[in-house]
Amino acid sequence: MMRNSLPLLLIVLTTALGNSSDFRGIPTDPTPGDKMLEEYFEIETRKVTQRTASLIDNIEDWSRTKADLRRQLYEMLGLQPLPARTDLKAKVTGSIERDGVVVEKIVFQSRPGLYVTGNFYRPAEQDGPLPTILYVCGHGRVKIDGVSYGNKTHYQHHGTWFAKNGYCCLTIDTLQLGEIEGIHHGTHNLNRWWWNARSYTPAGVEAWNCIRALDYLETREEVDREKFGVTGRSGGGAYTFWISALDERIKVSAPVAGITSMRNHIVDGCIEGHCDCMFMVNTYRWDFPLLASLVAPRPQLILNTDDDRIFPLDGVVDIFQKTRKVYESLDAKANLGLAMYQGGHKDTQPLRVPAFHWFERHLKGKSADDELTDATAEKIFEPQELKVLDEIPGNERNTFIDDYFTKRVPRRLKVAESSSDWAAERSLLLNRLRSRCFRAWPSGSEELDSTEEYRSSADGIAFSRWSFTSQNGVRIPYYLALPAGSLPEDLDLVVVNALDENGWDSFLATYGSAFPEAFPGAELPEPDADAYASEKNMHQNRKWGMIYLPTRGIGPTAWTTDERERIHIRRRFALLGQTIDAMRVWDIRRCIQAWRELEGTDKPQLWVQASGSMAGNALYASLFEKDIHTLDLHDMPASHREGPVYLNVLRFTDIPQVAAIVGENTRIRIYSDKPEEWRYLTNHAEKFEWPEKQMQLRAPMEP
């Protein structure tokens, strides 16, 4: 047997303490939009980091703070309300014994149809209940001839070591790469952005499966219920944090390569190397030291290698140092450890040794100086020997759990029975939108600093370009077209056109050749003479003004066109507790505010017009801005499932219900060839006796 006397805290630092990630940030040839975005992510990350640091530095009542944070974490994992603890329907489908280790093949249902396959390791001979480890796997595909044996078979050596050294150990498959193969990569590469709107993250499924795994372990007579530990690496390191933070039954934890700082993820680009199972839906804008701090004061050893590109050294040390402040405030400094070893993102044998020591010390009461009898973890089983299921159950929901796991507003909304019911429903909904969907909006105290940058006249049109500060680090232009010689107070109405990418291209084709100096640096398309002629006619015959607003990421602030990079830009927004769409709603609001700062703008009616998902953004902007006379909404999705996407929104409402609130004060015209999708809105308007023109469904306009 190999004897080992490695110290508990092994730190081998061979690289400089700094950013070690090699992911792409902004492109090598950045646009002005790329540069603005880089600055924006720096600013927003700093806000999140500073807020977390301030909270940790000023903890007075940890028990109360911890309870509040844990409630937030349950919510951000999609576990509020907590699912029912239904019958696990646990089964042992077989067992095998080798080298003094018995492995039972276990399956249970953490929720009806949500299957968890696992291997339960125990000594062939034991005297009484033993300390027990929940081992949670990272991504370790084991697939032979098209058959998935589960990543539990890849990590089998950990369970074997624990069993040989006087522990029980349950190793469970993850949703992805398990025997029933679910999905972790919804926003990473499958375009399932509705996960954000549904409050869904596979991290929530993994956390819930861990909770139910502890429920199962409590039924086993071989297990000491008072001595549960948890460990795992990579994805399993993240799940170690989830279950340790949520469930006090975990007495000792040793996460390996499962956490790093928000700065590493957002600014340094480490988010690109992670699937969605690594992140909560960050509604409350946490940095990750808050997650680690929720384990305090219970023993926790954070382990990592020093050259891990997706969990860089500086971020791991930052987490440790901030978490240590919480442990120190609880007089529990000795219960927090940091172990490092040289290398990249690998399941490194020497890095396991400190974790083994940690459990020996805190679950068995051994000294930190005690030697391990055997520090080597070996694989002694073939994957086929550890397979649990002969066939995939017909009632499995693993493969579509994303459309089932979290609560959502009913797909068929029900019109309120009375005015008082509607008033209560509306008030609750507005509160939830502000606190859960748009929580990351700025306070609104930032100066707009609206300035005119260009003005010219031609063909009876006065054309100007303005810009304003939407929020710190985000400067947005808008373009104003008026009848030549007119002032705002001379107009009958002004229309804010919120442009998406297609709208911007059309706008450039209409006005670009007439006012090229208004678009410095833009590649002007072939002129659309018919569209420009129509605009001239309008301005010569009507007292109308037109505002054209390219929100962030559109037109002058457009960022990279590389699709992979655009995906991870969207994921960065979500990890900051935002979405691009939510911040575009803010841009529309701020443009309206900038317009209203100009003299005489209180005279004309204000209309807002947009198409597609941007029409949804315009609808929501009108929910929060007063005195919008009319909305013209073209091809607007009838559900947030199709867009626009705001965090958590489908937990509370959907687009037709929001339109019902807006329509109480604003005339709405929806251009759609699917009137059945707007049945709730038309029924609501009829129920509450809206004027005939207050809400109109119109046929789509010809392109």
DSSP labels, 429-476: HHHHIIIIISTTS--S-S----EEEEEEEETTEEEEEEEEEEETTEEE
Same domain, 554 and 623: yes
Assigned domain for 605 exists:
yes
Which of 671, 665, 668 lies closest to 636 in space, CA to CA?
671
Instruction: Report d(CA 90, CA 103) in Å as an integer.
Output: 15
Residues 374 and 443 in one domain: no
Q: Are 605 and 626 in contact (CB under 8 A)?
A: no
Token pair of 632, please?
A: 């013209």
Q: How far apart are CA 270 and CA 275, in angstroms?
A: 11
Pair 393, 498 in one domain? no
Same domain membership, residue 332 and residue 276 = yes
List the structure tokens of 470: 């939407």
Question: Among candidates 319, 326, 309, which has minimal Cα distance to 286?
Answer: 319
Number of Cβ within a 10 Å radius of residue 295 = 27
132 vs 220: CA distance, rounded Å: 10
Domain that holds residue 605: 437-698
DSSP assignment of 649-668: GGGT--HHHHHHHHTTTSEE
Inside any domain, residue 65: no
**pLDDT value, residue 8:** 39
Residue 115 domain-assigned (yes or no): yes
SS3 409: coil
Same domain, 331 and 459: no
Which residues in the chain come in under a pLDDT of 70? 1-28, 373, 703
pLDDT at 27 (0 to 100): 62
Query: Residue 317: how many CB atoms within 10 A of its CB?
Result: 20
Q: Give the model's pLDDT for residue 20.
A: 38
Predicted local confidence at residue 526, as pLDDT? 97
Is 277 inside any structural domain? yes
pLDDT value, residue 28:
65
Residue 645 in domain:
yes
CATH code of 670's domain: 3.40.50.1820
Cα distance from N-terminal residue to C-terminal residue, the chain: 78
**397 lies in the same domain as 441:** no
Within 8 A by CB and 6+ apart from 369, the residues are none
Q: Are 443 and 396 in the same domain?
A: no
339 shares its domain with 450: no
Look at residues 358, 378, 403 and tell me which one is the last residue of a structural domain.
Answer: 403
Same-domain check for residues 260 and 131: yes
Q: Is the Cα torsion angle 411, 416, 420, 421 positive or negative in sign?
A: negative
Per residue in 203-231, pLDDT (tens digit) is: 999 999 999 999 999 999 999 999 999 99
* Domain co-membership, 354 together with 450: no
Q: Which of 359, 382, 403 is the last residue of a domain?
A: 403
CA dihedral sign of residues 29, 32, 37, 38: positive
598, part of any domain:
yes
Structure confidence at residue 12 (pLDDT): 38
Q: Which amino acid is at 605?
A: Q
Domain boundary among 381, 403, 425: 403
Asked whether residue 397 falls in the same domain as residue 458, the answer is no
71 assigned to some structural domain? no
Are 465 and 346 in a shared domain? no
What are the b/e assignments for 598-618, b being 16+ CB within 10 Å? eeebeebebbbbbbbbbbbbb
- Answer whether 158's CB lies under 8 Å from 124's CB: no
Residue 410 inside a domain? The answer is: no
Q: What is the CA radius of gyration of the chain?
A: 29
Q: How many domains does the chain have?
A: 2
